[in-house]
């Protein structure tokens, strides 16, 4: 079934009508675009999973406006959580609480926790205020594909399949929110993002980073799934000489290779086809998904080179890069998120 997909920066009343009718609406956030539906409705939440082709064991984040009463949704609010909310919200931090079970059970895929996010984006806030409901929303990409940071990216994946995209321009953060488990005595990062471990520890003293042990069912099901994958051949190297050899091999085979690398390496490869991620962790986060989507359109083979930059937002950037290129922590995963 196809329909007209409207792209608008102001159609909040229309968005509300669609949400109340059980439809799915895409909206800008400062991290990536989201694909939202009424979190209280089983049928609406089911539509999100069906549209994305998302595995039914990968839970969704609920989005609320800044004055929405969080205690309507969560069962227990650990004392340190308030400090974190004051320091980082609205913003790119999602907190996982014990759930009160008020939203559709499909949102958390049967887990007794609920992930809640208060986005900073003006577009997202206006939308959430207009509907005044918790909105369940994953990133607005087809399962496995690269996350969207423009309305055009959302159209590329869902044009004709959803009625409306609330356009807020480019998502400047560029990678998904930090997912933080606050159900224990010490907060634990389940997915790295722009709010870093150091930033969290500086507010509450301590912060862990969760890594599932081999064979263990991960706490955040999404981290076990392949993700952010460009739709062309990909290779990943930490060694620049090996990357260059791969580039030349692709040319010999009559292909069109592109290198994706940090700014210093891009300068080194001056004259070749290069997609420049930039210099800082924040810059690389902000450019990463747009460049992966550009790369898959232009290149027959996209060759990633491990950035050498460390610290801050780089943990999140490296995690996304590894998974996009199937390297290290993302190797040989067959499922999707």
Binding footprint of ligand TXA on the chain (CB under 6 A): 29, 31-32, 34, 58-61, 94, 96, 108, 111, 113-115, 117, 137-139, 176-177, 179, 190-191, 219-223
Residue with smaller CB distance to Mg ion, 139 or 319 = 139
Minimum Å gap between C-beta 94 and ligand TXA is: 5
Minimum Å gap between C-beta 191 and ligand TXA is: 5
Report the partner that residue 317 touches, choosing among ligand TXA, Mg ion, none (CB closer than 5 to 8 A by kind): none
Report the partner that residue 29 touches, choosing among Mg ion, ligand TXA, none (CB closer than 5 to 8 A by kind): ligand TXA
Report the partner that residue 336 touches, choosing among Mg ion, ligand TXA, none (CB closer than 5 to 8 A by kind): none
φ, ψ for residue 47, nearest 5 deg:
-60, -40
User: Is residue 29 a contact residue for Mg ion (CB under 5 A)?
Assistant: no
User: Is residue 123 a contact residue for Mg ion (CB under 5 A)?
Assistant: no
Minimum Å gap between C-beta 139 and Mg ion is: 3
Please tell me the distance from the alpha carbon of residue 57 to that of residue 333, in angstroms, as a whole number.
15
Residue with smaller CB distance to ligand TXA, 41 or 58 = 58
Listed residue (145, 138, 84) closest to 109, CA to CA? 138
Which residue matches tokens 């929303």?
137
Report the partner that residue 196 touches, choosing among Mg ion, ligand TXA, none (CB closer than 5 to 8 A by kind): none
Sheet holding 257-261, edge to edge: 233-237, 301-305, 257-261, 274-276
Report the partner that residue 150 touches, choosing among ligand TXA, Mg ion, none (CB closer than 5 to 8 A by kind): none
Minimum Å gap between C-beta 223 and Mg ion is: 11
Parallel, antiparallel, or unpaired: how do β-strands 257-261 and 178-181 relate? unpaired
In whole angstroms, how far apart are CA 27 and each of 139, 145, 154, 185, 186? 10, 18, 9, 34, 32
Minimum Å gap between C-beta 59 and Mg ion is: 11
Structure token digits, residue 79: 């004392």
Report the partner that residue 304 touches, choosing among ligand TXA, Mg ion, none (CB closer than 5 to 8 A by kind): none
Report the partner that residue 148 touches, choosing among ligand TXA, Mg ion, none (CB closer than 5 to 8 A by kind): none
- Interface mask toward Mg ion for 126-165; x: CB under 5 A: -------------x--------------------------
User: Is residue 220 a contact residue for Mg ion (CB under 5 A)?
Assistant: no
In whole angstroms, how far apart are CA 161 and each of 47, 252, 315? 11, 40, 34
Secondary structure in 3-state letters for 43-71: HHHHHHHHHHCCCCCCCCEEECCCCCCHH
Minimum Å gap between C-beta 237 and Mg ion is: 26
* CA angle (187, 189, 191) in 5-degree steps: 155
The DSSP result for 94-158, as a single string, is EEEEEB-S-S-TTTTTT-SEEEEE----HHHHHHHHHH-S-EE--BSS-TTBPPP-SHHHHHHHH
3 state DSSP class of 232:
coil
User: Is residue 31 a contact residue for Mg ion (CB under 5 A)?
Assistant: no
Minimum Å gap between C-beta 107 and ligand TXA is: 8
> Which residue number is nearest to ligand TXA in terms of Cβ?
222
Interface residues with Mg ion (CB under 5 A)?
139
């Amino acid at each position: 079934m196809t329909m007209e997909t409207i792209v608008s920066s102001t159609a909040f009343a229309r968005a509300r009508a669609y949400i109340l009718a059980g439809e799915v609406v895409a909206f800008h956030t400062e991290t990536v675009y989201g694909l939202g539906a009424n979190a209280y409705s089983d049928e609406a939440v089911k539509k999100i999973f069906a549209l994305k082709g998302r595995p039914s064991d990968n839970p969704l984040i609920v989005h609320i406006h800044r004055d929405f009463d969080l205690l309507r949704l969560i069962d227990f609010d650990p004392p340190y959580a308030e400090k974190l909310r004051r320091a980082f919200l609205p913003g790119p931090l999602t907190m996982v609480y014990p759930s009160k079970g008020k939203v559709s059970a499909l949102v958390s895929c049967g887990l007794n926790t609920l992930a809640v996010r208060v986005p900073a984006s003006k577009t997202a806030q206006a939308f959430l205020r207009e509907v005044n409901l918790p909105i369940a929303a994953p990133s607005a990409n087809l399962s496995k594909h690269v996350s969207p940071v423009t309305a055009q990216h959302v159209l590329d994946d869902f044009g004709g399949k959803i009625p409306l995209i609330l356009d807020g321009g480019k998502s400047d953060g560029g990678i998904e929110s930090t997912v933080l488990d606050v159900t224990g005595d010490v907060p634990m990062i389940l997915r790295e993002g722009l709010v870093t471990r150091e930033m969290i520890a500086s507010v509450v003293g301590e912060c862990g980073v969760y890594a599932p042990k081999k064979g263990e069912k991960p706490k955040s099901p999404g981290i076990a799934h392949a993700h952010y994958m460009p739709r062309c051949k990909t290779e990943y190297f930490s060694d620049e000489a090996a990357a260059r050899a791969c580039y030349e091999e692709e040319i010999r085979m009559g292909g069109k290779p592109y290198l994706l690398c940090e700014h210093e390496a891009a300068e080194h490869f001056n004259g070749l086809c290069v997609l420049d991620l930039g210099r800082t962790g924040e810059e690389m986060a902000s450019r990463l998904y747009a460049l992966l989507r550009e790369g898959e359109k232009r290149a027959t083979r996209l060759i990633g080179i491990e950035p050498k930059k460390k610290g801050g937002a780089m943990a999140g950037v490296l995690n996304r890069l590894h998974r996009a290129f199937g390297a290290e922590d993302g190797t040989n995963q067959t499922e999707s998120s």
